Structure 1
Amino acid sequence: MNDVLHIVFDGAAMVAAGQGNILASRLIHRAHAEPGWFLYAPACALVEADRARPGTAEHVAALPGVIVLDMDLPTALAVAREDTWAPAHTEHAAQPTPERPDGAVVATAVPQEWKGKAVRVLDLSP
């Protein structure tokens, strides 16, 4: 059986990872060490995380196994419809694509922020 798991870190998950959150650390390790585990860091969420905890962007972007998602035209159009860029980019990244037909799970330390959104959430809060 070929299990594939796609996970998108929101800004809060990135900050939590930098603060030693064990669940976030395990996801980072798995994305680096296990075939079929993919971990994404949307660029807009990376900026938000770095504003909350300076140095986070460089740290997350340097991690092996973390794929930084740039802002291409479809992403820019999706983000432009929303009030906040980081959550919009994260939500857009979690939607199904040809590469991720089942979409991705949003990993977050603030799951209440995702209530009512059309995404699956992985709660990293302690």
Structure 2
Amino acid sequence: MSDELHVVLDDTAMVAAGHGNIIVSGLIHHAHTRPGCFLYATACALVEADRARPGTAEHIAALPGITILELDLPAALAVAREHTWAEAHTRYAAEPAADLPNGAFIATTAPDRWKGQPVRVIDLSQ
């Protein structure tokens, strides 16, 4: 289990996927072809990404290596306390949980957005 990689794409990473960002493209490829590599997209971040770049939601949802995380009741309660749904749902998905004790990384092209928050980041802007 320690060799597994769990990554949540934020809305900026989803938009970057449509622009051919090589790092996010690599993550998508690995999630589809390598056991132990898991890639997630939250429903709230998917909406925000589609607002920024129409067509992104359909593109991300069609990729076989990405699991779409719905806004279930625990996630909705976490989101309700925050200002932005996309960031709150993404952070909630990346937090440690019983089935994922170390949490997940957040892939982003805006790493400053996550400064000071208890999350691990993969910087896609490099």
The TM tier, using the shorter chain, reads over 0.9
Question: Structure 2 vs 1, CA of residues 73 and 19 (structure 1 numbering), >3 Å: closer, same or farther?
Answer: same
Q: 2:108 and 2:65 mapped to 1: Cα distance?
A: 18
1:112 matched to 2:112? The reply is yes
Q: 3-state SS of the aligned residue for 1:76? A: helix
Q: What stretches of structure 2 of length at least 5 have no aligned partner?
A: none
1:99 matched to 2:84? The reply is no
Q: 1:98 and 1:29 mapped to 2: Cα distance?
A: 27
Note the C-alpha offset of 1:97.
1.6
1:23 matched to 2:23? The reply is yes
| RMSD value, Cα | 1.0
Normalised to the residue count of structure 2, the TM-score between the two structures is 0.97
Q: 1:6 and 1:38 mapped to 2: Cα distance?
A: 5
Q: 3-state SS of the aligned residue for 2:96? A: coil
Note the C-alpha offset of 1:2.
5.9
Normalised to the residue count of structure 1, the TM-score between the two structures is 0.97
Note the C-alpha offset of 1:96.
1.1
Q: 3-state SS of the aligned residue for 1:106? A: strand
The sequence identity of aligned pairs, in percent, is: 67
Q: How many residues align?
A: 126
Q: 1:25 and 1:100 mapped to 2: Cα distance?
A: 24
One-letter code aligned to 1:73:
L
Q: 3-state SS of the aligned residue for 1:103? A: coil
Q: What stretches of structure 1 of length at least 5 have no aligned partner?
A: none
